Every structure is written in structure tokens, then in C-alpha cells.
């Protein structure tokens, strides 16, 4: 687990982003290395034996996919694969599938060759290519080798070298280049495959590679041409030369006495037939190179809750119009990949000591499999809160139960940010998604050391001072979660239980409120009605009732900040979904990408706005909800040199799906 730190201590860091990506993996590392406790469970995720139709593609299957394409003469050894992922069976087939039945496997592939993009479907079981087509005017996610290429090309450009020399940077081994996706701003051609390189002074740095940014020198690399096609230079004297490392050798951190979560009698969860079983929950889990963690077929007490849950896009725009910042409007999932960037978890810090750490396999640029070690944590935790309780004075009774949850955790690291992605299962039938943001602010050098300096008010319009000569540029984090809920069956409807104020005539009590159900019949964004003051969203099954005669449903609870960018702003066009808290669409197995399948350098013409323009019915249909989880990051000194984890969450809560408190089980 020390590989990250070891890589970051190398003096000659030529490419910071690639170092972060590769610090936890090696392309040739396919031997499983897990502790004894996790060994059996690990095989569930990395074994070549497929036990469930939704299992991630195995090492053998990835090798087979490439071999099939080579044999069909569709690709060569020079071809590259931004995406190789499982083509899921139809939902109806999945619900009908039984353990031990035949498993047919197919893969969806995106291929990059001869500067063109192709899509293919491969039948792995029968070893044949089912579909092959060229996709024009798109740019797939960036490849690791393209990041590496861009991270080196700038060093050969005399314009960059001269600009650095004028700033006093003469040793290129003390400067790192972090290539970043560029977005689209009306002029970029789809024939170009562009990266802009963020230059960083890493002299004397051990851990915080982002503390000494070099302002105003931005090499623009076209990896199609293999060269720097432009250098954006702005005159500035602002710089920071202070190192802000945060490792134990650099920071004399105050330490508390250990507080430990243990499972002295063993785990309550188990792996069976490709699923995780815990309490009355059972669900399937897999890792995907693009989406990261995917939860499927989640059931509680024998009743279906969600067919699939996953984070399908992330939008991170920065609020600085300067030339070397305005393009920073990343689509972290579509351009980079949460699965690709998932990092190893450390027992006792990243996850409790009782966690089971699991491996996963993803495809690399050349289509070969890569083992990611210890990137998934499954653990139980006692929250320290009562699950339920009541203490009664009248008859001197007290009943209380401890709350225990099951957590499935991954932590993708996207450059300077670490995102803790938790799927949390509760014994009371709740399913929560919790996201923690930590890592480091993207810092910009300024001339001001304090707010008393003459330029401070101007320089801090785009970010707060987080240290002398450094501001953390304001920015947003917006995640689009795809919630394919199937509440006790596939056909569901969507409604809001609105809290509507009422008057009580001829009564000493003047007012109150009632609940009025407001159904949504057509797809689109869910907007609160003008009459309501509050309410609860719910996915309801009008075909299934509890014993009280009430329709079964699950509520969607949570509040999030939304984008305030102009609708016509180029970054906002690519992330139109971030303007609304919730969208509902009918299920379509091809509609997986709210910003389009190819958001890299896209104009924003594909995705959720295109879908909802069809005006399809969502009444008693198989429906999908798209939840926006986001926050405006107003940078603070307390965020530096490393950001204390900031948490955001949403909850799926049973509402009339059960006849009583689901945490009370009779007869067990």
C-alpha cells in the first residue's frame, strides 16, 4: 500500500497525472495478492470462472475479445481500446436467469486506430464479431499512453522552454506536466485530439504535487499530430515557492488513541452465486472501467428495490475566465474513468480494519487485462447510533438496538481529488449513496500573501486565499447517479407527495397541511409545483400493495446544489443534467450516458436533453431516475494542504413497501 508514496518521492517526475494513475498498478501484474481473509471473496471478482451474467469481464475474456478482433482482421496490435465492457443481457432475461443456467457473454468495445473511432460488439461465447462500425466526429476517453505522450512533448517545444527560463525554471526535471482534457469552446475540430498541460514546479516536493503551480504557460498538445500545436502565454509574476507536504515526516500531526471497528465473531456478509448477501439484502457488484462501482439486482427481504445503481457522469467546472483556467470543465467519468482511476484501499484508514479488500480486472489501452489490487472494500460498521429505541417512564422499560450498516467502498483518484464512493445498506431497508470529496484544491499562484495586500480583492474574485500566494479556485462538483429502481417489479410510476398548506375554517386552529400526490406522466426534469412547499419524491408500484392496501414505493431523499452556469455556456451544454436535481426517463438499455457516450471535446448535443425531447410516458413503465448530487466548492484555508473529507448523500427509503418497521424481524 506504500506504492503511491514511493512513486511520488521520485525526484524526476515527468508526468504527474500518469504517476498518480500508475502508482497503484502495473500492466504485467496479474498475480493475486490479498490477505487470507479476503482470498476466497477476491476470487469472486477476478476469477476466470463466470458465475453470474453481470460479472465483470474476466482476464481470460478480455484476452479473448482482443484475439477475436485480431482473428477477424478488424484490429492490429497497434489498435487501442478506450473501452471494453460487458454488454449486459436484457433486463427481462436477467430476472428470469437462475443459478446454474447457461451464461452467454458479449462485450461492447470502443476502438481507436488510424486516428479514427470504431465501435464493435463481440460474442465472447461463440467467438465472433457481431457488429463493427465507424463513429465519426467523436473523441473517446483519453488513453494512458496519450497522457504520457502529452506529458513529455511539451519538454521538446522551444517556446515552452524559453517561457519557463524567463520565469527562472531552467531544470525541466523539476517541472511536471499534468495533461488535462480541454472541453469544447466553439472552435475545436474533432480531427484534433487535444490536451492542455498544467505545469507544476515539483522541486523539493514529496507529496503535494499541486502546491507550486506555474501560472500563464499552457502547452496545447494534439496527440493525433504528436506535437505541441500552440503555447498560451500570459504575463504574470505570481508564484508560490513554498512546499506544502502533508506526510508524517513533514507534519507533526496530533494523533488520537485508536478507535477500532471489529467483527469479533466474523462477518455477517457472504459471497454466494456471484452476489453479496447481508442481513435481508442481496445484490450483485462489479467494477467497470468507466463507471466504477455498479450495484445490480438489489433486493431486500425478497422484494426488488433497484435493478442497477451507478455514477454515470461527473462535471467539474472551474470559475476562472483566465486563459489557463477557463477550459477546466472536466467530465471525470466520461473523459477519464472512475474504474480506471480507482486506487488501493488501506486497512485502518481508508476502510476499517474489519474490511474485506477485493481486487478487480480492467482492460488497458492495448486491450490486455490489468489487475487492480485492493480497490474495493466491503465492511460492516456500527454507526454508534441507535437503530431504534424507546425508554418508557410509565412502566420503566427500555428497548434499544445498535445500528449496523454494510458498506461497499471504492475511491477513484482524479488528479488532485479523491472521491470516496459508498453504497450503504441498512437493516431497516434503506439504501444510501454517500460521496466524500478529499484530496487537494486546484491551486493558482497569486501575488497576495494576505487580504491586506493591494491586489488581494481582485485576485480573490475567483477563489479564496488558502495560503500565502495561493488561491483555491472556486469550482463545482456534480455527479449524475443513474437509479434504475424496480420497486417490487419492473413497471413503476413516479410521483411527488406534496406538502400543501390548508386552512381550518371555524376552528381555533387556523392552519395545517395535507399530503397531495402529484404524479408525473411524461419524462423530463422533476420540478416542484407552485402550490407545494415541500414533499417527497417516490418511485411507486401501482400494481403491488402491502397488507394495508397501500401501493409500495421507495422515496428518493436528498438535497443538492445545482449548476448556476448560463445555459448557453459551452461547458454547461455538455452537462445540461446538472441544472436539475432529478430527471426521470423510461428505461432504455442504450441510454447510459447523461452527457453522451463521447463527452470528450463534445458540443453537448447528445445526452439527457436529447432523450427527454422524445416526450415518452413514465406512467406504469420501466423507469430510470437520474439524481444530481453536487456542491459548490468555495475554497477555504481549512482545505489546505489536504482537504478534510466533505460528505454528500442521497437515500432510498422504503415507503409503504413493508407492513411494519423492516428492522424488526419476527421469528428470527
Q: List, by residue number, the catalytic residues.
A: 332, 417
For the chain, what's the residue count? Answer: 668
**Range list of H helices, 72-143:** 91-96
Q: 623-633 and 475-485 as β-strands: parallel, antiparallel, unpaired? A: antiparallel
Q: What is the DSSP string of 619-656?
A: TTB-EEEEEEEEEEE---GGG-SSEEEEEEEEEEEEES
Q: Is 90 left (phi over 0), alpha (psi -120 to 50) or beta?
A: beta
Report the b/e string of 569-608 with b at 16+ CB within 10 A: ebbbbbbbbbbbbbbbbbbeeebbbbbbbbbbbbebebbb
638 to 251, 441, 646: CA distances (angstroms): 15, 11, 12
Per-residue cell: 227? 506535437
Q: Which residues contact 190 (CB under 8 A, 6 or more apart)?
A: 136, 137, 138, 139, 601
Question: Which phi and psi (to 5°) does residue 239 adopt?
Answer: -160, 160
Contacts with 258 (C-beta within 8 Å, 6 or more apart), sequence order = none
Q: Which residues pair with 222 in a beta bridge?
A: 194, 227
C-beta of residue 654 within 8 angstroms of C-beta of residue 546: no
Coil/strand/helix, residue 550: coil
What is each CA distance from 94 to 88, 283, 490, 589, in whole angstroms? Answer: 9, 13, 12, 13
Cβ–Cβ < 8 Å for 591, 585: yes
Instruction: Residue 159: count other Cβ atoms within 10 Å of its Cβ.
Output: 14
Q: Is 495 exposed, middle or buried (0-12, 13-18, 19+ CB in 10 A)?
A: buried
Q: Where are the beta strands (DSSP E) in 114-266?
A: 116-123, 128-135, 175-180, 194-201, 217-222, 227-233
Spatial contact of 147 and 538, defined as CB atoms under 8 Å apart: no
Cα pseudo-dihedral 33, 36, 37, 42, rounded to 10? 40
User: Which H or E element spans position 275?
Assistant: strand 275-278
CA 435 to chain centre: 9
Q: Which three cell numbers stand for residue 582?
A: 432529478
The span from the CA of 173 to the CA of 293, in Å, is 37
DSSP calls for 431-475:
EEEEEEEEE---EEE-S-SSTTSTTHHHHTTSEEEEETTEEEE-E
Cβ atoms of 42 and 56 closer than 8 Å: no
Residue 579 gets which letter from DSSP?
G
What's the gap between Cα 25 and its chain centre? 19
Which positions ≥6 away from 239 have C-beta within 8 Å? 167, 201, 212, 214, 215, 445, 469
Amino acid at each position: 500500500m506504500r506504492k503511491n508514496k514511493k512513486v511520488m518521492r521520485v525526484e524526476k517526475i515527468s508526468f504527474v497525472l500518469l504517476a498518480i494513475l500508475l502508482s497503484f498498478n502495473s500492466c504485467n501484474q496479474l498475480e493475486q495478492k490479498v490477505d487470507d481473509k479476503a482470498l476466497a471473496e477476491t476470487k469472486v471478482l477476478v476469477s476466470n470462472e463466470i458465475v453470474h451474467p453481470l460479472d465483470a469481464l474476466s482476464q481470460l475474456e478480455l484476452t479473448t475479445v482482443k484475439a477475436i478482433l485480431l482473428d477477424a482482421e478488424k484490429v492490429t496490435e497497434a489498435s487501442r481500446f478506450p473501452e471494453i465492457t460487458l454488454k449486459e443481457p436484457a433486463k427481462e432475461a436477467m430476472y428470469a436467469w437462475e443459478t446454474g443456467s447457461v451464461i452467454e457473454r458479449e462485450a461492447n468495445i470502443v476502438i481507436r486506430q488510424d486516428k479514427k473511432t470504431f465501435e464493435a460488439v463481440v460474442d465472447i461465447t461463440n467467438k465472433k464479431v457481431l457488429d463493427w462500425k465507424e463513429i465519426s466526429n467523436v473523441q473517446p476517453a483519453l488513453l494512458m499512453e496519450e497522457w504520457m505522450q502529452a506529458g513529455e512533448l511539451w519538454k521538446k517545444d522551444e517556446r515552452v522552454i524559453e517561457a519557463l527560463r524567463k520565469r527562472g525554471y531552467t531544470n525541466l526535471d523539476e517541472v511536471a506536466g499534468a495533461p488535462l482534457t480541454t472541453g469544447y469552446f466553439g472552435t475545436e475540430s474533432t480531427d484534433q485530439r487535444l490536451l492542455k498541460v498544467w505545469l507544476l514546479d515539483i522541486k523539493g516536493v514529496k507529496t503535494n504535487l499541486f502546491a507550486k503551480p506555474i501560472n500563464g504557460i499552457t502547452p496545447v498538445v494534439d496527440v493525433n499530430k504528436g506535437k505541441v500545436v500552440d503555447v498560451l502565454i500570459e504575463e504574470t509574476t505570481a508564484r508560490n515557492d513554498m512546499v506544502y507536504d502533508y506526510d508524517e515526516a513533514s507534519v507533526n500531526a496530533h494523533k488520537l488513541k485508536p478507535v477500532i471497528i471489529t467483527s469479533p465473531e466474523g462477518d455477517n456478509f457472504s459471497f454466494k452465486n456471484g452476489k453479496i448477501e447481508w442481513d435481508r439484502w442481496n445484490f450483485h457488484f462489479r467494477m467497470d472501467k468507466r463507471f466504477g462501482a455498479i450495484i445490480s439486482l438489489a433486493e431486500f427481504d425478497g422484494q426488488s428495490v433497484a435493478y442497477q445503481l451507478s455514477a454515470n457522469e461527473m462535471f467539474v467546472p472551474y470559475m476562472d475566465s483566465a486563459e489557463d483556467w477557463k477550459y477546466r470543465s472536466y467530465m471525470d467519468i466520461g473523459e477519464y474513468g472512475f474504474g480506471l482511476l480507482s486506487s488501493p484501499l488501506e486497512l485502518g484508514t481508508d476502510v476499517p480494519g474489519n474490511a474485506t479488500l477485493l481486487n478487480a480486472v480492467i482492460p488497458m489501452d492495448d486491450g490486455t487485462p490489468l489487475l487492480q489490487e485492493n480497490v474495493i472494500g466491503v465492511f460492516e460498521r456500527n454507526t454508534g447510533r441507535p437503530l431504534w429505541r424507546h425508554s418508557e417512564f410509565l412502566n420503566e422499560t427500555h428497548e434499544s438496538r445498535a445500528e449496523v450498516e454494510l458498506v461497499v467502498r471504492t475511491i477513484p483518484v482524479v488528479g488532485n481529488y479523491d472521491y470516496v464512493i459508498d453504497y450503504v445498506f441498512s437493516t431497516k431497508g434503506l439504501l444510501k449513496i454517500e460521496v466524500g470529496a478529499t484530496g487537494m484544491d486546484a491551486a493558482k499562484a497569486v501575488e497576495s500573501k494576505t487580504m491586506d495586500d493591494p491586489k488581494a480583492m481582485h485576485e480573490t474574485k475567483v477563489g479564496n486565499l488558502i495560503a500565502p500566494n495561493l488561491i483555491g479556485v472556486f469550482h463545482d462538483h456534480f455527479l449524475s447517479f443513474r437509479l434504475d429502481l424496480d420497486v417490487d417489479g419492473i413497471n413503476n410510476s413516479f410521483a411527488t407527495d406534496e406538502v400543501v398548506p390548508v386552512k381550518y375554517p371555524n376552528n381555533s386552529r387556523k392552519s395545517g397541511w395535507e399530503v397531495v400526490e402529484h404524479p408525473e406522466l411524461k419524462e423530463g426534469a422533476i420540478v416542484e409545483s407552485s402550490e407545494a412547499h415541500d414533499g417527497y419524491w417516490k418511485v411507486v408500484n401501482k400494481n403491488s400493495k402491502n397488507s394495508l392496501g397501500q401501493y409500495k414505493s421507495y422515496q428518493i431523499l436528498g438535497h443538492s446544489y445545482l449548476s448556476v452556469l448560463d445555459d448557453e455556456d459551452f461547458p454547461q451544454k455538455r452537462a445540461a443534467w446538472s441544472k436539475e436535481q432529478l430527471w426521470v426517463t423510461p428505461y432504455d438499455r442504450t441510454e447510459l450516458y447523461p452527457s453522451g457516450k463521447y463527452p470528450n471535446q463534445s458540443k453537448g448535443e447528445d445526452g439527457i436533453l436529447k432523450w427527454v425531447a422524445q416526450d415518452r410516458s413514465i406512467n406504469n413503465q420501466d423507469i430510470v431516475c437520474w439524481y444530481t448530487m453536487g456542491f459548490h466548492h468555495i475554497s477555504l484555508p481549512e482545505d489546505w494542504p489536504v482537504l478534510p473529507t466533505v460528505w454528500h448523500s442521497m437515500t432510498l427509503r422504503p415507503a409503504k413497501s413493508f407492513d411494519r418497521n423492516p428492522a424488526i424481524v419476527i421469528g428470527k
